[in-house]
Copies of this chain bind each other. A is one copy, B any other.
Amino acid sequence: MTHPPIISTVRALQAESDRLRAEGKRIALVPTMGALHEGHLSLVREARARADVVFLSIFVNPTQFNDPRDFDAYPATLERDLKRAAEHGVDVVFAPDVAEIYSEGAQTWVDVSDLSEPLCGASRPNHFRGVTTVVSKLFLAARPHVAVFGEKDFQQLVVIRRMQRDLGFGIEVVAAPIVRERDGVAMSSRNVRLRPEARKQARALVQALNAAEKALAAGQRDRDALLAQVEAILTAPSLARLDYAELRDPDSLEPAPERLRDPTLLAVAVDFGVEGGQAGESVRLIDNRVLVPPRKD
């Protein structure tokens, strides 16, 4: 199977987009950092269902990594990614190098203020500023009609929706549901970096979400009681260090009220220490679910 064409410059991608738009074609963009797994491929399927042409971008964005070790360790698997992209009907792969996206003297940042602050924003300073800046550049390079993002990075989705609305890119931002491994662990490019023992323990995240959902269905509405249950599950594994477990409004990301009434985001983040790894080396996993309290009749 041959690869889809690879475009490596912004100018060439803009020209391709202009050409396709002039033909009346509808373009979807799937932004990724490569290391494609089933989660990404579900985004591609979503994109294909909504557009005539699918652009997939592969760019490991240095400005969204607050830890340079995490950036260096990020898996690079371009050949395999291209094969998977071809198998799933991607029409164009955009794979620029860092200098193409951040030219010499680059100093322009796109920042979404309040929504970038809590949750992952609190643990990863400037992470979302890196995300919104690179996504702006990708939006301007690809000029898609639709862009597809995964719900696994739920806060990212909320931040990007806000950015698209505030700046007026005129792009429909589509959310695709989380794809999970057979044991329930959310697909992530970081899962391959977990040692076997930590990989087993990583099930705690989805178990915590399941437990909260079950408790809510059984009538538990108390925010702090739900969080206590979630935290107990997340802190039980020997290699886990809890980063956060929070209940928040899925649109505004404001903290949930003491008693849950409306659909509420449960978002969790756990660091898994790497046995025998260097000091401070760890793999950070996140997961989330929007919990919907059953109506009282």
Complex interface residues of chain A between 4 and 20 (CB less than 8 A to chain B): 10-11, 14
Which of B14, B22, B136, B166 contacts A107 (CB under 8 A)?
Answer: B166
Q: Are B169 and A140 in touch, CB under 8 angstroms?
A: yes
> In the docked arrangement, what's the CA distance between A81 and B106, Å?
37
Given A140-B170, A167-B136, A168-B140, are A107 and B113 also a contact pair (CB < 8 Å)?
Answer: yes
Contacts of A165 in B (CB 8 A): 103
The closest CB in chain B to the CB of A13 belongs to B168
Which of B10, B113, B168 contacts A137 (CB under 8 A)?
Answer: B168
Which of B10, B140, B166 contacts A108 (CB under 8 A)?
Answer: B166
Contacts of A106 in B (CB 8 A): 166
Which of B113, B141, B252 contacts A168 (CB under 8 A)?
Answer: B141
Complex interface residues of chain A between 80 and 125 (CB less than 8 A to chain B): 102-103, 105-115
Q: Answer yes or no: A50 CB below 8 A from chain B CBs.
A: no
The range of chain A's interface size is: 20 to 34
The closest CB in chain B to the CB of A132 belongs to B108
Q: Answer yes or no: A163 CB below 8 A from chain B CBs.
A: yes
Q: Answer yes or no: A162 CB below 8 A from chain B CBs.
A: yes
> In the docked arrangement, what's the CA distance between A162 and B109, Å?
11
The closest CB in chain B to the CB of A170 belongs to B14
Q: Are A167 and B107 in touch, CB under 8 angstroms?
A: no
Please, could you name 22 A-B residue pairs with CB atoms under 8 Å apart, sorted by A?
A11-B170, A22-B22, A105-B162, A105-B252, A106-B166, A107-B112, A107-B115, A107-B166, A108-B132, A108-B167, A109-B110, A109-B111, A110-B110, A110-B111, A111-B111, A136-B167, A137-B166, A137-B168, A140-B167, A140-B169, A140-B170, A141-B168
Chain A residues close to B by CB (< 8 Å): 10-11, 14, 22, 102-103, 105-115, 132, 136-137, 140-141, 162-163, 165-170, 252
